[in-house]
Each structure stands twice: as C-alpha cells, then as structure tokens.
Amino acid sequence: MDMNILAIESSCDETSAAIVQDGRHVLCNLISSQIDIHRVFGGVVPEIASRKHLEVINHLLEAALAEAKLTFDDIHLVAVTRGPGLLGALLVGISAAKALSFMLDIPIVGVNHMVGHVSANYLAHPDLKPPFLSLVVSGGHTYFCVVEDYAHVKILGETVDDAAGESFDKVARVLGLGYPGGPAIQRAAEAGDPEAFDFPRAMMGKDDGLNVSFSGLKTAVINTVHTLEQKGEGVPTSDIAASFQAAVIDTLVTKAKRLMDQYPGLSRFALSGGVAANAALQNALKALCEKRGLAFYVPPAILCTDNAAMIGCAGYYQYMTRGTSELDFAAEPDLALGAPDPGDQDIPTEVLVDLLNE
Ligand code: KG4
Ligand code: ZN
C-alpha cells in the first residue's frame, strides 16, 4: 500500500502543505508566501510571520487534500518542521501537525528543516542515493557535508558568522534592491562586471578547512557603498552586485574543491537550499563537477526555497529509519544539521546504516 505523508513547513515566511507518497512522489506542494507582506519592512518580522501562518494553515491543508484528491482518512503519516526557524512560526505548523496526528491517530515525525533541504534533491532526482557530498546554502545556514546515508549527515564545514543567503539579503538592502535579496542581486548582477570591485574572499588559509565567513565581505560592500556616497559619486549597483556575487561563489567553489579533495571516493555532489536557486552558483559548481568527473545535482528553484514537499521526503526516511516522534516533541529554533533526530538513541548505528540504501 502507498504511504501518504502530509507535510507541513512554517519555519520562516512561507506556509506550505504538501502530500508526498512513499517519500519521493509529490502529489501536491502548496506554498503560501508572505514575501509581499514582509517586503515593506525590509525583512521578516517574526510576530507577523506567526500570525500569517495561523491565518492560512487550515485552508492550505484542505486545499492540499483537495488537489491530491484525498481525504484526511487517506493520510498515514504527518511530517512537520521542528526546527531550525522562528519559534512562533514553527509552533503554528507543529501545533497543526500534532492536532492532526492526535485526531487521526496516525504517527508524526518532527523533521529537521535542513535535512529537508538536503532531501529536496531526492524529489528532483529519482536516481540519487547516499552517500554523496553536499552544500546546503540557505538564508540562515551554510553547510559543507557528507550525506552518509538517509539517517546520517556529517558536517565538515559551516559559516562562522553570516550565512550565504543572509549576506545576499544584507547586501541587497544596502544597495536598495529590497527583500528578499538573493533573486534581486542575481538580477542586478546580470548587467554588471564581476571584476569591477575586488571584494575579499575570507578564510582561504589551509587551517581554515571547510568553514566560511561572509561578514567581512558584507562589511566591505557596505563600506564601498558609503565611501562612494560620501564622495558624491554614483553607486554602480550592478557592478557591486556582480562583484559581491562573484566573491560568494568563489568562496563556495574553493571550499567545494576542498570537500571533493577530502572524499575522492564519492562521485556525486548535491547543492540545495534557497541560495541554490542562484544560476551563477549552479553554473560554477556544475562546471567544477564536470571538470572533476562528479555528477552534479540541484533541485528546481521551487524545491530550493522553503517548501513542505522536502519535509515530507525527509519525514518519510526519518520514519522508516527511526520510527515516530513522541507527541510532546518541542520546536527547536536553533536545531543544527547533523543533530540527532528523535529515535536516534534507540536504534544501534549498525542497524541504521544502509537500512534504506537498497
Ligand atoms: O532556504 P530558504 O528559502 O530559507 C531558509 O531556510 O533560510 O532560503 C532563503 C534564502 C534568502 O536569503 C534568499 O535571499 C536566498 O535564499 N535566495 C537566493 C536566491 N533565491 C533565494 N540567493 C541567491 N540567489 C538566488 N536566486
Ligand atoms: Zn529553508
């Protein structure tokens, strides 16, 4: 029998409900974005985000069932983002999911949002199986990792300050390009010269390993803009956007090379997270993979940014390897990728490993 998973995502400014069958088959993936509401404030206002999630969540769940031509009785598992994210926003999705699990008497899994981003590639690429190398770049996180199997992600590097997406958003703000910054910078950069400004690439030393830092780059861009303004010179927005984007991409590509050097036996590289929607970043990493003989994977843009289908996919594998979460699990705003999932402690690693690799 097919397993129908109803998935809910509400960690930031997108409310999403999806129905995923047997982990990889998306029956529907509805996303209600709050971007237009937060745009006037130049970023996400947490209190407003929670209220908007609350307004739409029930309607979205009903719409998802209608689109998939299913009823609540056809659902076998509820999957919901338990963190990381905004506490109030997470609580809306978690409360709805717990109510459904209780009412329908079906299991629930509290899913790590970052594992969801990794899993987006499973939805887009039916042939993709662990192990593989991965770069996860979102608004709040930047991770270089090895996806060892469906239950284990090993973190090799992360940002020591700003996340990649965060730096796009902050630089866009100073350039007056609005929110969210990533797509705006990408558009502006298309008309600009990536070599016009020599912005810094941080933490390139051997000892810096696979960690990255984007805060110095952001400051350098802000200082450049302020200096130009003080001198009364025009700010060449496109050139600055292109030069900034090139610095981020150079940094990520350099570290991706190091990751590949550390794991010469792995022949797949998967990019995911909101920043993975960036065409220039995709092209640079694709070219690197081609040069090194690795297969390159990236989801379509709609599965790069926040969505519930990726949570449904991650929830399926979590349920299959660790079983259900207890109904009293908490929202975890600071949950890291690689943190244990509910049930991890109960199953010996040797039983878990490769359980689903077949
Ligand atoms: O994964 P995501 O939707 O939410 C988080 O989990 O944070 O990522 C959102 C981030 C934002 O910082 C946004 O500016 C960035 O992804 N982003 C992009 C692009 N599209 C979205 N960054 C660069 N280029 C893009 N095309
Ligand atoms: Zn996300």
**pLDDT tens-digit profile of 329-339?**
999 999 999 89
For atom 14 of ligand 1, the residue with the nearest CA is: 182
Q: Are 313 and 119 in contact (CB under 8 A)?
A: yes
Q: Provide the pLDDT for residue 343.
A: 74
Separation of CA 117 and ligand 2 centre (Å): 7
Q: Ligand 1: which of 168, 175, 282, 283 to mutate, judged by most atoms within 8 Å of the beta carbon?
A: 168
R_g of the chain computed on alpha carbons? 20
Q: Provide the pLDDT for residue 349.
A: 56
For atom 19 of ligand 1, the residue with the nearest CA is: 182
Ligand 1 proximity of 168 Cβ (cutoff 6 Å)? yes
Ligand 1 proximity of 84 Cβ (cutoff 6 Å)? no
Residue range 73-96: mean pLDDT, rounded: 98
Ligand 1 proximity of 9 Cβ (cutoff 6 Å)? no
Distance CA 292, CA 246 (A): 21
Q: Ligand 1 atom closest to Cα of 165?
A: 12
Q: Ligand 1: which of 112, 138, 272, 311 to mutate, judged by most atoms within 8 Å of the beta carbon?
A: 138
Note if the pTM is more than 0.85. yes
- Model confidence pLDDT, tens digit, residues 95-153: 999 999 999 999 999 999 999 999 999 999 999 999 999 999 999 999 999 999 998 99
Q: Provide the pLDDT for residue 358.
A: 46
**Selection from 341, 330, 334 nearest residue 95 by Cα:** 330
Q: Are 30 and 64 in contact (CB under 8 A)?
A: yes
Distance CA 84, CA 305 (A): 15
- Model confidence pLDDT, tens digit, residues 300-330: 999 999 999 999 999 999 999 999 999 999 9
Residue range 72-90: mean pLDDT, rounded: 98
Separation of CA 233 and ligand 2 centre (Å): 38
Ligand located closest to 275 CA: 1
